[in-house]
Amino acid sequence: MDEEEYVYDINRLQILTQEHRNEELNVLKSIYLDDLIINYDIPISLNIIIYPNGDENDLDRDKRLLCITFIAELPSTYPDLNSLKITLCRPRGVTDEQIKYWFLCTL
């Protein structure tokens, strides 16, 4: 029986990875509009401030009781070889224990 030979073109994989990543970024931007900030430096990072439902009625974002900033860093090999790095920061109305619980729930 002949063994099948698999040849990988690393340049093609990199192009596909970039296309997939750009497609994901475009989808996220279409969902979150101006709330999502995308930094295209390497690594690419996404930044969005998350507010709970009901708080959106208060137009002054500084007066909202709860919020947390979500930051995701995408390595150059994302989504194929590495997972993204997630950071939750600047919490308002959220305890450290709650943040730790959220991270444990995602493992």
The three-state secondary structure class of 5 is coil
Domain range for 95 = 10-105
0.75 exceeded by pTM: no
Of 11, 46, 43, 41, the C-alpha closest to 26 is 46
In a domain, 2, yes or no: no
In a domain, 41, yes or no: yes
| pLDDT (average), residues 81-97 | 78
DSSP state string for 58-102: -S-GGG-S-EEEEEEEE-TTTTTS-PPEEEEEEEES--HHHHHHH
pLDDT tens track for 1-40 = 444 444 445 455 555 577 778 888 899 999 988 889 999 8
Count of structural domains within the chain: 1
In a domain, 26, yes or no: yes
In a domain, 91, yes or no: yes
